[in-house]
Amino acid sequence: MQDSRSPRRLRRGSNGRFRPSQEVKPAASRPVCRRPEHLAEISSMRLIDGTGAPIDPAIMSDTLATSGVVFIRDGDLPTLIELLLTFSELYHHPHEDSVGITRIEGASSASTIGHPGRQAFSRDALPLHTDRAMVAAPPTLATLLTVQAPAQGGEALLADLAPAIHRLTRLPDLAEACRSAVLVSADRQAPVLEPLGPAGYRFRYRNDAIARSRLLSSCGWPVLEELRKLRNTPRVVRMSAGDGYIVHNHRYLHGRRSFSGDRQMIRLLASSDIPVITAQALRTHGG
């Protein structure tokens, strides 16, 4: 069961330690991404886009606002944390090992039975989903870093919902469609597609023991149909040790294929006011 309380968010203090921030108020504009000047000196970590082109760390927030995803090569945890803290705040998760950071290792499927939300800690396939989909404010960013790749399987699955957003904004009654397609868990309900004003729209989706989609009226059918089509054609990403990704959790669904052998991953969640999808991003999908 997920915690509906507002998540604590963390910043790096002057002494280098993580500390809870004060209550976060909506920002007038998204944080400026300060380039980590020592990044090249302390790490070989590289950031690339979906075509393999390099990304300047100084424009990370702009890249995520436009494309929704950044891929990591030769990554390491300290450098990745330092980078995320230049434009976001770490976000608590109930399963975390330390603030905002969760180590995920594959266990037997039997060990997760009766524990909703623990499927990520098995070797089973993990359906495409939004992290923390049923809390009031899900994390903006979901980051995954490979420590040890499995012997077989375990490929990451990614689905960009920007094309769906583009098509759905053309509905004659989008507001009613948003109200009519919901996620339902044991104790709460949340919209699948939620208007956020100038920040665009926020998608949230799961189809597992935590939550499932439901139609309150036929007006919401186009929303769920768009999700169905995208779930069937995810991008498949094979990741070796040091590889990973950062996705906009309100725009991208992520999951994985089943695997055999040992697999170790590190998940980091973060909050930022990066828009879900910009006008420029919509134009790339025909808007």
Q: Exposure of 285 by Cβ count < 10 A (0-12 exposed, 13-18 middle, 19+ buried)? A: middle
pLDDT (tens, 9 = 90+) of the chain, 287 residues, equals: 344 333 444 443 433 333 333 333 333 333 334 444 444 444 799 999 988 999 999 999 999 988 999 999 999 999 999 999 999 999 999 889 988 899 998 765 545 555 566 788 889 999 999 999 999 999 999 999 999 999 999 999 999 998 898 889 889 999 999 999 999 999 999 999 998 887 788 999 999 989 999 999 999 999 999 999 988 899 999 999 999 999 999 999 999 999 999 999 999 999 998 988 654 555 555 44
How many C-beta neighbours within 10 Å does residue 58 have? 16
Question: Cα torsion at 56, 61, 64, 70 (round to 10°)?
Answer: 40
Whole-angstrom distance, CA of residue 136 vs CA of residue 106: 29
Query: Which pTM was predicted?
Result: 0.82
From the list 4, 272, 9, the residue with the least C-alpha distance to 132 is: 4
Q: What element of type H or E holds 191?
A: strand 189-191
In the three-class reduction of DSSP (H, G, I as helix; E, B as strand; rest coil), residue 3 is classed as: coil
- Ramachandran angles phi, psi of 255, nearest 5°: -165, -160
